[in-house]
Amino acid sequence: MNKNRTEELPYPVLFDKLGKYSDNEQISEAMSVLIAGSDTTAYTLSIGTFHILNSPEISAKLQQELRENEVDPDQMPSLLDLEKLPYLV
């Protein structure tokens, strides 16, 4: 790996500590972490969506919270906007 890219960063980089592993091994590990993280996120979102769609009470409560906080459906909400939605978050 090109060590020059990470030497000037203000935070530690995990792969800098893995010098004994080849580039291919490091790339393989990074891909495993990436795939594992995206799979669990996709699964969690799928299960959450399933429960929202199959529970009229949950769906109604979320819709009410979104209306009360005037969330614009055409824009991605900011983290500050999401903090105002305790039931959703």
CA gap 69, 72 in Å, rounded: 9
Overall pTM > 0.85: no
Region 63-80: mean pLDDT is 90
Q: What is the per-residue pLDDT for 10?
A: 78
Q: What is the per-residue pLDDT for 50? A: 96
- Say what the pLDDT of residue 4 is: 54
- The mean pLDDT value for 30-40 works out to 82
d(CA 26, CA 18): 8
pLDDT at 58: 95
Residue with tokens 């909400």: 77
Give the start-to-end residue ranges of the domains of the chain.
21-54, 56-89
